A and B are shown apart, each in its own frame.
Chain A
Amino acid sequence: MSQQFFELIRPDHNFDFVGKTKPLLISSAILIVLSFLMLPLNLIIPGRGHALNFAIDFRGGTEMRVDFSKPVTPGEIREAMDAGGYKDSEVVPLPEFKHAFLVRFPAVSALTPEQAKRAESSLRDKLGQESLRKFEFSDGGDKAYVRLNKAVEPSQIQDILRAADITTSQVQRFGRPEDNTYEIVLVGLDQEIRKALDGKLGQGAVASIPSVGSVGAKAGKELRDNGIVSLLAAIGFIMLYILVRFDFRYGPGTVIALLHDAIFVMGAFAVTYKEFSLTTIAAILTVIGYSMNDTIVVFDRIRENANKMRDKKFSQIVNLSVNETLSRTILTSATVFLVTLAMNIWGTGVIRDFAFAMNVGVIIGTFSSVFIASPILIWLNDKSLQSQKKPRRSSGTTPA
């Protein structure tokens, strides 16, 4: 009568998930705290310097037009840039020009912050405290601007900077003469890049670098703010839907679980210091969707069983439901994990980062629906029973 299936997990299993939540909840909380801690920590870890390894999408950087003397591919250029220490560059071919490319890379300054400070203070010292009205240098650019109260010879500025160990290729007057603004062209970035590219692609590979400039972030403040607003709104509406379809006890568990997952993925990026780009945001959004999906399936079973088994303790019902859906939970995670793992192993660049986020997210998403969302549901259920203060049989009973 009974049919045999190919099974990974025997249907009559009954693991005690609910009983084991406490240590897991605690370790989860610790990991979440660590995820956040990693952000300021990254600022001081040598070689890192940013909370997350923000891509040029968020940080802006340098854009350089490079003309080559022979045909090269974007991939070769990217490799050469990597080898020269300019990681995560973006190479855009300009087919209307001969062997020309736009190369963009995250802000690598021609002037370190200390150098910039030193330049400013020595200008102040030499020209008088009051005379320096403004010293302006944008991260990633190769030009600095000074505005003075009085006119000086450009060569004088160049000499002062040279004394401070900052070599400049040119200093010239800029803008209205009465403003006494000077443009300082710093040596460097184009020469450095030329060296890096020539080193890998052969001497004389770079014909010329016609333009260098700093570019702003693709994703500005507004995008960030909009992203946060839309995320909060999405969470609100999900809560509302769950409130309508389930009841209030089910909402917070789902939402906390998905926030947990999002933070965790971000933490993974903080720890590994992988590039954090707009694609990563998309991956985190996917993880959130996935995690929610997972949680809803488990909750659905809990709701169904709760209606059927009024006499059991709620925590038992939750444990039973988690067990019943376990096979499905593991299978789904396995299929998604398979796809993203393949992309992680055999993919490149952007795809790999996307797949990495998903790999982490799938595992965490599965974990959170069992060990985060369900305990919160049990806890809220107990709370609501207590607040109802009904002298029912026991405090753990499911409400009708």
Chain B
Amino acid sequence: MERSFYYRVATYSLITILSVMALLPSLAEWTNKSERLPDWYKKAFSRKISLGLDLQGGLHLVYEVQVDKAVSDKADRLAAQIEEKLARDKKVKGARVIREGDGAEARLRVNFQNKSDAKKLDGSLEREFAKYLTRDGQNEQTGETVYKMDADYIDELRSYAVSQGVETIKNRVDKLGVSEPVVQRKQNDIIVELAGLSQADFERVKSLIGKTAQLEFKMADDGSEYMQKLSAHAESKKAQYVGLDVGFDAWQQKDSGQQHTDVYLKAKDKAVLEKFLKELPPELTVPSDHQILFEQTSRRNDDGEETQDKVWRSYYLHRRAELTGEYLTDAEVQWDPNTGRPEVGITFDSEGASLFEKVSGANIGRRMAIILDEKVSSAPTIEGRIGGGRARITLGGFSDPYQLQQEAKDLVAVLRTGALPAPLRKTFETQVGATLGPEAVSKARTSMVIGTLAVVIFMLIYYRTAGLIADIAMVFNVVYLLAIMALIQATLTLPGIAAVVLTIGMAVDANIIFYERIREELRAGKTPRQAVENGFGRAFWTVFDAHVTNLVAGVVLYSYGTGPIRGFAVSLMAGIVCNLFTSVWLSRVMFDFLVGRNKKRATLSI
């Protein structure tokens, strides 16, 4: 026998052994014998096929969509629009629109410097906002006008917040590669069901679902009088709020050399800062067009290097966001060239880019806070007009580089899928059992075993020894397929198993193509050895084309599809690759063994 034969046998044996090893943890788990595997082994082959919700159950989470926040946000945006309309179209100076109350109770209070300006809130302007707002009253003395949100529009906003939330969560879970998750709406709640993941995976999925991912860019109000007063108050209350401190910022704008200074509050414990702000005396409450948000930073030592010491510090910001994540087109993980730490680079669309350029141009020397979910991620000083529409988000919190990178990846995933229209609150979490009872599963098993046996026996009767080869190849095919599924941590549902069984039916297809060809060659009077040679050679491209077209379909389904379609595509592709391998190469080795031993044999059992 030729040398290449032994090489091939050695290679295929190695692949088979590796496949079995990859498959062992899954098999052990299904038969409840996991504890028999040594620890080092479990560590080396940690990836397993998990069983789907129908076979094993999983986690059932119910999230309440905090629809009121979506309504409040819309009210804020309307306030900004009205203010702008008054200033730009109606030439009203100093008009302020302030939101009061949350959710359905939200009211917009329009204040005028001049009482006479109140009549500028005329029909044409009100008509424009008629879909959203209805007038609730006007103060005769000051011209102050109050609007409330329209009830139908609130319903619409709430409904949209939930339906959009469902889609966004679906996309996020899909991005994680969890196959066959269930995300559905239940009135104002969102139900998420996840099949058998490890505890760590569950935690990661939960944190991803919980992220609102609202990205905002707000200008800091540097050197304000209010912060001077607030810090003076903080100094006096240091004893009452343990850990509270006041810090000073000073920076110089590079080009103009202009000096900037500001004060801020800081504490190791964020709760201290929040408590302090909550208990402010009425005359010191944060003005309604401003807000105070916090950033977690590392304390620098005397040499200016970062230390492990983390501290929360405040920023005094204009409430209105200059730019939001809505203008984002892409996000990616990149590395800070100075520190080498992972960060997230974002790209704005053309509208966002021009807004960004305008804002940065108008605020040179000031600081712009990049805010993610109400937390300042950084607040760089604007050194000049920034074109091109790119920005970056630095990550705080974790200092472990691996964790940072993971965090950056997750952030990219949520930014790409877009922000949730409203925050979520988990209201219910429970384990759910398998939806299919044991009796249904055993029936399905019986049917699949019968189907498989039918094919095995058929092949044996029709092709004799060659049929046996096809049957053996089929067994290997299933082993490889399951091994691949274990390595990519696929989820197996009952229909998924049916699909695997189906590949068995299809797996023999390639063998049949080869065998029919070999028979044709034998009929034409070729020797068995020649017939095998020619048969495999000629039919190869047929088999190849048939498999590749299927593979093309699989790749496309995977890249465009979501949820179940994706899961299906993965099994399809894995099946095709294994199929091609076993039918073309593995069967060939067995045939070479069959015809190679006796070169003079006249017949081939096929």
Contacts and interface: CB of A to CB of B under 8 A. Distances in A.
Contacts of A226: 560-562, 565
B346 interface: no
Nearest to A349: B440
Given A92-B435, A348-B440, 9 more contacts: A3-B523, A5-B606, A213-B187, A230-B561, A242-B549, A288-B553, A300-B542, A342-B451, A354-B495
A147 to B, nearest CB: 7
Contacts of B105: 176
B564 A281 contact: yes
Interface string A164-187: 000000000001100101000000
Name the residue in A147, A220, A324 with the highest tally of chain B Cβ atoms < 10 Å from its Cβ. Answer: A220
A248 B308 CA distance: 65
B486 interface: no
Interface string B474-516: 0000000000000000000011001101101110110011001
Nearest to B462: A6
Interface string A1-24: 111011010010000000000000
20 contacts: A215-B184, A215-B191, A219-B564, A231-B557, A282-B495, A286-B502, A292-B546, A292-B553, A296-B546, A331-B516, A334-B458, A338-B451, A339-B454, A342-B448, A343-B447, A343-B448, A343-B451, A344-B447, A347-B444, A354-B498
A345 B182 CA distance: 29
A83 interface: no
B263 interface: no
Contacts of B538: 304
B439 interface: yes
A63 B512 contact: no
A216 interface: yes
Interface in B161-220: 163, 166-167, 170, 182-187, 191
A340 B560 contact: no
Contact of B454 (A6, A213, A338): A338
Q: Top 9 closest A-B pairs, CB basis?
A: A93-B433, A216-B185, A230-B560, A342-B451, A346-B447, A339-B451, A336-B505, A339-B505, A347-B447
Name the residue in B191, B444, B498 with the highest tally of chain A Cβ atoms < 10 Å from its Cβ. Answer: B498
Given A226-B561, A281-B564, A341 B184 contact: no
Contact of A282 (B151, B516, B564): B564
Contacts of A176: 104-105, 151
Interface stretch (A42-50, A197-205, A233-241): A233-241
Contact of B505 (A73, A223, A340): A340
Contacts of B318: none
- The main secondary structure of chain A at its interface with chain B is helix
B256 to A, nearest CB: 50
B235 interface: no
A281 B454 CA distance: 26
Interface of A: 1-3, 5-6, 8, 11, 60, 63, 73-75, 90-97, 102, 133-134, 141, 147, 175-176, 179, 181, 213-220, 222-223, 226-227, 229-231, 233-234, 237-238, 241-242, 245, 254, 278-279, 281-282, 285-286, 288-290, 292-293, 296-297, 300-301, 304, 324-325, 327-328, 331-332, 334-336, 338-351, 354-355, 358
Contacts of B446: 346
A225 B492 CA distance: 25
B458 A75 contact: no
A293 B186 contact: no
Nearest to A343: B447
A331 B470 CA distance: 14
B520 interface: yes
| Contact size range, B | 35 or more
A293 B435 contact: no
B186 A215 contact: yes
B523 A339 contact: no
Contact of A2 (B439, B494, B525): B525
B564 A73 contact: no
B437 A74 contact: yes
A105 to B, nearest CB: 13
A297 to B, nearest CB: 6
Contacts of B520: 11, 324
A140 to B, nearest CB: 11
B443 A339 contact: no
Contacts of A230: 556-557, 559-561, 565
A292 B459 CA distance: 23
A94 B498 contact: no
B67 to A, nearest CB: 12
B431 interface: yes
A210 B75 CA distance: 36
B565 A341 contact: no
B392 interface: no
B498 A351 contact: yes
A358 B216 CA distance: 51
A394 to B, nearest CB: 29
A358 B502 CA distance: 9
- The main secondary structure of chain B at its interface with chain A is helix
Name the residue in B435, B504, B550 with the highest tally of chain A Cβ atoms < 10 Å from its Cβ. Answer: B435
A340 B454 CA distance: 11
Interface string B91-114: 000000000000011000000000
Interface string B433-472: 1111111100110111011101100110111100000000
A250 to B, nearest CB: 10
Contact of A336 (B436, B452, B502): B502
Contacts of B502: 286, 336, 339-340, 358
Contact of B565 (A227, A289, A344): A227
A230 B555 CA distance: 10
B501 to A, nearest CB: 6
B570 to A, nearest CB: 12
B505 A338 contact: yes
Nearest to A231: B557
A5 B561 CA distance: 46
Contacts of A342: 447-448, 450-451, 454
Contacts of A141: 187
A175 B508 CA distance: 64
A216 B184 CA distance: 6
Contacts of B433: 74, 92-95
Contacts of B552: 234, 237-238, 241
A8 B519 CA distance: 13
B573 to A, nearest CB: 11
Nearest to A76: B437
A220 B550 contact: no
B603 to A, nearest CB: 5
Contacts of A289: 550, 553-554, 572
A181 B158 CA distance: 15
Nearest to B162: A216
Contact of B523 (A11, A96, A102, A227): A11
B550 A292 contact: yes
Given A241-B548, A297-B546, A343 B557 contact: no
B500 to A, nearest CB: 11
A344 B431 CA distance: 32
A218 B505 contact: no
A229 B439 CA distance: 38
Nearest to A330: B512
A296 B452 contact: no
B589 to A, nearest CB: 22
B561 A227 contact: yes
Given A11-B520, A241-B552, A3 B439 contact: no
A332 B512 contact: yes
B430 interface: yes
B506 to A, nearest CB: 6
Contacts of B432: 92-95, 102
A211 to B, nearest CB: 9
B568 interface: yes
Contacts of B443: 346-348
B245 interface: no
Given A226-B560, A328-B513, A338-B505, A350 B54 contact: yes
